A and B are shown apart, each in its own frame.
Chain A
């Protein structure tokens, strides 16, 4: 037991359970239930951090989420989580943390030399230093870039790591009649009342323990309420859960910390859980935070909030010092002093800025012992790495003047209370403007409405008992020479606030941004009011007229992992075709196309992707190949007006498409630009199966639904996504018909029975299939569709039937190569900026009927001859082209303006050259020109190319019609 740990008290700790933890590799011991801050205090550690800018040694100030100084980096299995408050880290055996923003060590930080920078590092340092000329070439941005590295190392917070966080995160949805935010007495009573009225209640408390800041004497009352709530089935009690955001519709966001305090997580337990809580009513019982007072040397380790000092003793049995002093402007600190005296602390003096105090405070002062110095203030502190003495002078808080000399008092802990600020953050997030309360010298939530209410200290109901007054004297700063800090974490001083005012930053919003007051990880919980008061004083305006900034989520840092939850890594929603396992079993490299996983190429050992796809493309051109096309969007279109509907959404005619025939169709957007293409099969008089590109399936489905619901509700047509109902395999190549003939039963597949764009129904290996003869590759080809559950069965049957013909599977790369050679377009060319004419699809624009986009497609800008149009390109140097490269007329030195870009490229085995498709200005008239494909950033290539027709192979289509 250390001398700082009292032999009695400590409601949160288990004195029989000692735990070991390390700080910067040094071993310490604490008790189960300790926070890191409590355990370090118990070990006599005073310096727990270094300040942001000046690297001043800092000790713990608070006991909860408002702690600005004691920030550590928690290291777990190589993963670093920086800027975690020591007041919230629960110690356990094996906990390892690192101190931050110091070099080489927390105790001896050489960067503390920054303190010599004095006023040079005041508010606006960056703005003043890095704007405008400095010395010669070292000016503005260039100077900043030179200094940035050094400055970033010299100032800041913790360093995040790069190790992958393997922790599990989770989210959960919850619904209730009443959400109580805050598990203090006010919150617990509110919850109990509602639960007894039969309401569904959720109570969230950010600390591990229930009761909030309630007096230790109320422990049994708290236990009783919690037991009662726990016994009710419609009550959910969530401790270690911070409600940090309030959004529309009474939807609140909370983070539950589940395993941070455990050495070993239970099986299946996530580290953090993100709660999305939809509630009928919100009861805010968020309590109030004690404020410090700004005075010179107020940041020395050992200066602490009075209530924090009190609670460290009560909750953890730890005394924050041996010889305590108190500085206050209100009665609540007397309670802390008396309680600390009761557990054995030596109270040296109570310094109160007020000239008089009430009987209740006087009684507590008598109980606390020590000198009572009314009408005095602390005007300075001393001590290298911890408080040793304070300077006290007589002070008139109304005139803000001092009289007489100053007196030195030896003390290792000064407990400060500058009054209390109700936690109005959530109410503010919900849109409520806080209202200044002159008596409490604090912002209170406004009058609630039916959707929310506010309870206890959060409502300004500050009951300290013992005839104590909740009203403080309006003293936020004791102005005296010396560095007096307003925002501890960002090293913003009272002089910085006044400097900002002098420099014209008068709005509280500007003050915040110029000085960074309140912008640190604690979001100004201990500094906002004092900063505002100092600015109001400078402006000679009352505080409420200066205003306060509106609070935004999150109240405290929220875990991004939990918000993202289980959607990433191995739980990414990959979409798999029915034949997925076959592909991976046969060496396919899978490629993510949106959510879909598609085979890129089937690589043999040692083969590159390019070698594999060139080989696959050759096989298709010369023999037969099989590709999985299950990812194509498929939409069932049914109803007596289905043909008319298609006639309206496609640019070409569909009304007369015979049953068992398919047609290639093009859709435009209403603005006349191309939207998607695909084939649509007429399966019966009133039933069609539309296929779309993989990428646009969802977009086309939405478009069709919009047309039916909004434009033509009179049409009797139903559309249903059947993408997943059908497995699809395209068999392509001169020998494809022979393969089908050898395995399809129930129908012939010769040219008469199955002409180009014909459809037949048959079976393969006992499974019903639909076969349509169409081609994306430009070869004789067929698409074979079967029920998705039968996909692998039919695929394997086709592979078996194709074996005598040396059939091989081919992937996306080969498919891309084949279509590039043919000049067939995909989403790379139908990119939202191209028209049918740009893509040479104007032959599909019917002049006999209107269709979606027809009214807008002939606009001047869409028919301009200089528009980018589709062309083919061939590399003249044999160099590999790069998709996205610019097409330019000039050489590398004088490339000239971009004429367009390459949309796709591949090595063409047919042409024995790297080829591509491009969209270029006035493309058709450039055929035959020699230009360049410039890719100056990625590959730094500048490749000579020839512009050719986009139909590079079999321009007459003889192969696919053969």
Chain B
């Protein structure tokens, strides 16, 4: 059995998004063709890193699947209404859920097969959706976002300049971008700026 886990669930009343004061709802940029992308911050969320011990990757993937009810396998990433998970390094998954109990649930599920690190406070999840989302993301990341290269549910780890970022495709034209909390405001501004050309809405 794994050791008791150190986690700090996000308490909504006491929590503050890193985008506070910089998250203005509305439509912006070149709206000649309307807002062609929509930007949102998903907050608060439970976010964990699951790191399997060598040889326990399949068991760990199955444990994440049990804990989140995602159709996850050792090699396949997954997205549902309530949760999402993707492998960003060998034997290493980022798991995101609406349920704040995710860290404890995962810790129990993986047992001695993996370690679980609570990153609920340490990461910020931004979503871009819309017909021009790939173009906007192409301005920020050296990644081929074409559908057959970046299929639905796939997740990757990359960076924008020095900002480490993980990206998961969560819809036809929707992508979640996960960045360090401390860089969230800088990245948010870069994302907004990159979206101005195609017009964007903040919801």
Contact = CB atoms under 8 A, between A and B. Distances in A.
B11 A767 contact: yes
A246 interface: no
A252 to B, nearest CB: 13
A687 B2 CA distance: 11
Contact of B20 (A577, A581, A685): A581
Given A566-B193, A573-B186, A576-B18, A720 B142 contact: no
B189 interface: yes
Given A724-B180, A790-B8, A578 B138 contact: no
B187 interface: yes
B69 interface: no
Interface in A144-198: 168, 170-175
B196 A687 contact: no
Contacts of B13: 766
A20 interface: no
Interface residues of B, number: 58
B3 A687 contact: yes
B166 to A, nearest CB: 13
Given A268-B197, A573-B163, A766-B14, A787 B120 contact: yes
A595 interface: yes
Given A175-B146, A571-B189, A595-B162, A722 B117 contact: yes
B181 A788 contact: yes
Interface string B115-136: 1011111110000000000010
Nearest to A573: B186
A575 B183 contact: yes
A104 interface: no
Interface in B169-203: 180-183, 185-187, 189-190, 193-199
Interface in A716-768: 716, 718, 720, 722-727, 765-768
Contacts of A571: 186, 189-190, 193
A228 interface: no
A639 interface: yes
A454 to B, nearest CB: 26
Contact of A566 (B31, B115, B143, B194): B194
A725 B10 CA distance: 11
A598 to B, nearest CB: 12
A789 interface: yes
Contacts of A168: 193
A793 interface: yes
B86 interface: no
A268 B181 contact: no
Interface in A761-803: 765-768, 770, 786-794
Interface in A51-100: none
A700 interface: no
B51 A573 contact: no
Interface in B74-91: none
B189 A687 contact: no
B117 A267 contact: no
A566 B143 CA distance: 17
B82 to A, nearest CB: 20
B29 A267 contact: yes
A765 B11 CA distance: 11
Contacts of A171: 139
B26 interface: no
Interface string B130-166: 0000010011011110100100000000000111000
A787 B121 CA distance: 6
A790 B18 CA distance: 11
A270 B197 CA distance: 8
A253 to B, nearest CB: 13
A724 B123 contact: yes
A172 B139 contact: yes
A915 interface: no
Given A269-B30, A571-B189, A718-B51, A724 B144 contact: no
Nearest to B136: A172
A763 to B, nearest CB: 10
Contacts of A495: none
A791 B20 CA distance: 13
| Residue in A268, A269, A595 whose Cβ sees the most chain B Cβ within 10 Å | A268
B17 interface: yes
A767 B8 CA distance: 9
Given A175-B149, A573-B187, A267 B30 contact: yes
B29 A268 contact: yes
Interface string B1-37: 0011010101101111110110000000111100000
Given A170-B139, A576-B185, A684-B3, A789 B15 contact: yes
A174 B16 CA distance: 37
Contacts of A175: 144, 146, 149
A595 B194 CA distance: 21
B30 A683 contact: no
Interface string A239-264: 00000000000000000000000000
A570 B141 contact: no
A574 interface: yes
B182 A577 contact: yes
A266 B198 CA distance: 11
Interface in A567-597: 567, 570-578, 581, 595-596
B143 A787 contact: no
Contact of A575 (B121, B138, B186, B196): B186
B16 A268 contact: no
Nearest to A713: B54
Contacts of A511: none
A768 B139 CA distance: 40
A687 B6 CA distance: 9
A572 B163 CA distance: 11
Contacts of A716: 53
A426 to B, nearest CB: 21
B44 A789 contact: yes
A790 B11 contact: yes
A638 interface: yes
22 contacts: A172-B139, A174-B138, A266-B32, A267-B196, A268-B29, A278-B144, A566-B190, A570-B189, A573-B161, A574-B186, A575-B180, A578-B181, A596-B182, A638-B115, A684-B3, A722-B119, A723-B182, A725-B8, A726-B121, A789-B15, A789-B17, A790-B14
Interface of B: 3-4, 6, 8, 10-11, 13-18, 20-21, 29-32, 44, 49, 51, 53, 115, 117-123, 135, 138-139, 141-144, 146, 149, 161-163, 180-183, 185-187, 189-190, 193-199
Given A573-B190, A575-B180, 17 more contacts: A266-B30, A266-B32, A267-B29, A566-B190, A566-B193, A571-B189, A573-B187, A574-B185, A576-B186, A578-B181, A718-B115, A723-B182, A725-B122, A766-B14, A788-B122, A792-B16, A793-B16
Interface of A: 168, 170-175, 200, 266-270, 276, 278, 566-567, 570-578, 581, 595-596, 636, 638-639, 683-687, 716, 718, 720, 722-727, 765-768, 770, 786-794
Q: Which 9 A-B pairs have the closest CB atoms?
A: A268-B196, A725-B122, A787-B8, A724-B122, A789-B15, A787-B121, A788-B121, A268-B197, A175-B144
